[in-house]
Chain A
Amino acid sequence: MAAVEVAAPLVRRRPPARVRRQRLLIAVANHSLLIAAAIAFVAPFIFITLTALMTNDQALSSHLWPHPFAWHNFISVFTKAPLWRWTLNTLEYSVLATIGVVLSSVPVAYALARLRWRGRQVAFMVVLVALMLPPQVTVVPLYVMWAKFHPFGFNFIGTLWPVIIPNWFGDAFSIFLLRQFFLTIPEEYMDAARVDGCGELRILMTVVVRLVKPAIAAVALFSFLYTFNDFFLPLLYTGESAHHWVLSIGLSEFRSLHQVQWNLTMAATLLVMAPVIVLFFLAQRAFVEGVTLTGVKG
């Protein structure tokens, strides 16, 4: 975000008092609005946290502040519901899918951005179309396909494999993001490698991959987040087999599952939000760069 620094006028002259007062007022109004909006944005997190620390009786009353603080709620949720099981399933889905997305999307994006071949534009259009396609459009035949596909008697319905496997064959969003990034690399880097006698494949695997590390990090991050949050597809394939539920499904069934109280539900909600928020603080730059890359340069 280098653009934050505002270019100073060449001749700095002190503006008249009237203008200065007006500017100050605008700045104060600006910041007051920001603070008001920020409070509204933080409030849900605060209410969720406060409720997660209440006793059940208190959560059902109209008190806003926990008294006493019921820290053990965060332990009780693990005994009320198989939270560990759901976490493991989520990690299985997220990690396997993310590895697949990165490994399969990088070469495709490279071919679309950096190699010249007939049909390249058409292929890129196809990626864009796939990006725009609502998942609901393809979901019925895909479900039928997985339901009818029994290699060695293995039943895919009820497992997470139908949501993991497609990620190993290129992901439209990641291909798009990586292509945008590949386009920004100066050709000279590749030419230098070519002069040194590198083959295209080696250029990709040594020179390019090293240059686009930030983009790969962003793609991995987004893919992890997307799968961690994904609800629709896991619901379709594992909705009936509780053993394979991921966190998002478990959480949505949490309250009805054991007639669990609101305070524990909010504790579980907070626990599901936590990894994502921690991840954000660990990788803030990659997030912001990735988001702006897809938006601005599209």
Chain B
Amino acid sequence: MQVAQEAASAAVGSGERRRARRRGAWRRRRLVLLLMSPWLVGFSVFFGYPLVMSAYLSLNHYDLLSPPRWVGLANYRYLFTVDPQTWTAVKNTLWLIAVMVPLQVLFAFGIALLLARARAGVGVFRTIFYLPALAPPVAATLGFVYILNPATGPVNTILSHLGIQGPLWFQDPAWSKPSLVALGLWGIGNTMIIFLAAVLDVPRQLYESAEIDGAGPLQRLRWVTLPTISPVILFAVILGVIQGLQYFTQAYVAAGVAAGQASQAADVTAVSLGYPQDSTLFYPVLLYQHGFTDFQMGYASAMAVLLLAVSFAVTLVIVVNSRRWVHVGVAR
């Protein structure tokens, strides 16, 4: 583009015109710079600088009060080999991603399929399934901790009427993560809306020709719907994994409230992280604990660098692997 322009201006050869053109190019560059300036500043100050600084701080001992002290790779060595909580947090986070993301995608896809076939009340149903996604996470979590509270919560009350002894939910290390998954499935709305739009966007002719070829409903789902909307599924999976890696608010609030409920003590935040028994101690929660309750900034930075590496690796692996199953033939 630019080469062609320059060649053209050289061919014209008029100095006057070339100067005018150069002035135009300069003005255009200035315009781009002007329009981009918020992001140039924003990216350098709020992304570039902290990324570099994170790497630097991770090689230091730093408590915010005394100046950083160089310790080399000691933080990483401690993180990988000594700290017993690291492995717990990594395991919990992997569990959450491995269980919650597929369930969320399946659930959202199932509801989208049902909605796409519904004849009556589509608008009402869509609103009902979407609304919980809007509920502020703190409020939704509080609601679930109450609804699932073992002693007087509505769910266990109803279960006991049915003759079933309900579990202890957020109070039981074996049930706390499944309870968070239930909360996650309730907030499926965004994914559901995206799937619904994608399913409705599948060209009608594809179904018709599949039907002529003798494909039943399940075969049409497998060979027409799924391949056509596979880019959207990929999007949902990547988003789910990224959100799983950052999972914090629900775990923090649920642990805090459930711990407070159990002990009735006024201030339990210090001991509540990961309650019960570190079963909700996810990686971001541990990072928060080291960085912002213990103020081990160097160590927390090492954790952040590891999180960054893992986020990139996971996204890359998903995108590369997706070439095998994501269909890109249909132009939108």
Residues in A lying within 8 Å of B, measured CB to CB? 1, 3-4, 6-7, 9, 26-27, 30-31, 33-34, 37-38, 41-42, 44-45, 47-48, 50-51, 59-62, 64, 104-105, 107-108, 110-111, 115-118, 123, 126-127, 130, 132-145, 147, 166, 168-170, 175, 200-201, 204, 225, 228-229, 231-232, 235-236, 239, 247-249, 251-252, 254-256, 259, 262, 265-266, 269-270, 272-273, 276-277, 280, 284, 287-288, 291-292, 294-298
Contact A141 B53 (CB under 8 A): yes
Contact B36 A111 (CB under 8 A): yes
Sample (12) of A-B pairs whose CB atoms are under 8 Å apart: A3-B200, A41-B186, A115-B32, A126-B43, A134-B245, A134-B284, A136-B287, A145-B53, A170-B43, A231-B138, A269-B142, A296-B194
A166-B42 contact, Cβ under 8 Å, with A117-B28, A134-B307, A295-B232: yes
A256-B268 contact, Cβ under 8 Å, with A126-B43, A296-B194: yes
Contact B308 A169 (CB under 8 A): no
Quick one: closest A residue to B147, CB to CB? A47
B149 to chain A, nearest CB (A): 8
SS class, residues of chain A in contact with chain B: helix
Quick one: closest A residue to B68, CB to CB? A144
Report the contact-size class of chain B (Cβ under 8 Å from the partner). Answer: 35 or more
| Chain B 123-134: CB-based contact to A (< 8 A → 1; otherwise 0) | 001011111101
From 246 to 281 in chain B, residues with beta carbon under 8 angstroms from any chain A beta carbon are: 246, 248-249, 252-253, 256-257, 260-261, 264, 266-269
Residues on A with beta carbons closer than 8 Å to the beta carbon of B242:
132, 134
| Chain B 1-22: CB-based contact to A (< 8 A → 1; otherwise 0) | 1100000000000000000000
Residues on B with beta carbons closer than 8 Å to the beta carbon of A256:
256, 260, 266-269
CB within 8 A of A143: which of B38, B130, B291? B291
Residues on B with beta carbons closer than 8 Å to the beta carbon of A247:
136
A297-B332 contact, Cβ under 8 Å, with A231-B138, A273-B136: yes
Quick one: closest A residue to B202, CB to CB? A3
CB of B88 closer than 8 Å to a CB of A: no
CB within 8 A of B49: which of A9, A141, A232, A254? A141
Quick one: closest B residue to A171, CB to CB? B42
Quick one: closest A residue to B205, CB to CB? A7
B49 to chain A, nearest CB (A): 7
- For B1, B2, B135, B246, the residue with the greatest tally of chain A CB atoms inside 10 Å of its CB is B135
Contact A229 B132 (CB under 8 A): no
Contact B136 A276 (CB under 8 A): yes
A48-B311 contact, Cβ under 8 Å, with A104-B39, A132-B242, A170-B38: no
CB within 8 A of A169: which of B41, B111, B232? B41
Contact B38 A108 (CB under 8 A): yes
Quick one: closest A residue to B303, CB to CB? A136
CB of B230 closer than 8 Å to a CB of A: no
Contact A37 B147 (CB under 8 A): no
A65 to chain B, nearest CB (A): 10
Quick one: closest A residue to B312, CB to CB? A132
CB of B99 closer than 8 Å to a CB of A: no
